[in-house]
Amino acid sequence: MSQQRLGKGLSALIGDDPLISKNQVLEIDVNDIDINENQPRKVFDDEKLKELAQSIETYGVVQPVIAAKQGGRYQIIAGERRYRAARIAGLKAVPVVVKEYSKRELMEVSLVENLQREDLNPIEEAQAMRMLMDEYSITQEALSQRIGKSRSAVANTLRLLSLPEDIQGMVISGDLSGGHARCLVALQSDDEKRRAANRIVSLGLSVRAAEAMIQKAGSRPAKQSKKAAAPEIQAAEGTLSSALGTRVQISGDLSKGKISVAYYSAEQLQSLFDFLLTAQEEKE
């Protein structure tokens, strides 16, 4: 399957399909449709599903579900939320556009299409990225091309999987945002990450405030005789720490100095190397 096709997301799946353009879709019994276990979205808001179900009771399923035929059954590629809401609404059948894919194509198309949506939480997005990389042995650079995201955005999202499971749960539940979670990656120990996460939630800190707190926690105590860093340098440290997903220290002044970037695993070192190499290639 070409990267060009995958890069177009859902429009590549249904945009030129005559069944869609002519509003000719199949009505498939809901009991003949299976959800896709590789679907990255795992959390469905019950209240929002009920709201959608009420809308479906009134207007029906306006946008058809996209599914692939698997033997005598149909597996969802896109539209699981609509499918779930339709069942809540009591529909016996739903409109479906049927696509033909091999098992491998089905998994890849489903993951890529869902990664291009904006309603996945950051952990679901990271898990889907990791699944694609592991299943097809592709690099972060190749993945970024497939899903239309920058190499640094992919790397920062994948780093969220290094967080303890309980903190990942806080992201899934919405107690922590993706920006907060990326700040926490910069801390070295899991206990530090948990304490910081709980403090962010209890104090209702913004991402910027969390960055400042974590930067302060990760810095070595300054000597009394040492002059405080300029505000511009402190702000730069916070911005770089967030962008790279690790602790960054700048020593010196606005005219000259040194930037130190911390890493805590071989994988993180490789990610930082790839990021800097890509930036250099783009500059050239």
- Asked if residues 68 and 75 have their Cβ atoms less than 8 Å apart, the reply is yes
Angle at CA of residue 191, ends 201 and 153, nearest 5°: 65
> Other C-beta atoms within 10 Å of 32: how many?
12
Phi, psi of 25 (to 5 degrees): -125, 160
- Which residues, including other chains, have CB under 8 Å from residue 93's CB and lie 6 or more apart? 27, 28, 29, 30
Is 80 part of the annotated catalytic residue set?
yes
Which two structure tokens, joined as six digits, stand for 59?
């207007």
Provide the 3-class DSSP secondary structure of residue 140: helix
Q: Which residues pair with 95 in a beta bridge?
A: 27
Q: Which residues pair with 33 in a beta bridge?
A: 74
Pairing of strands 257-261, 26-29: unpaired
**The one catalytic residue among 37, 47, 51, 80:** 80
Provide the 3-class DSSP secondary structure of residue 38: coil
* Active site residues per annotation: 80
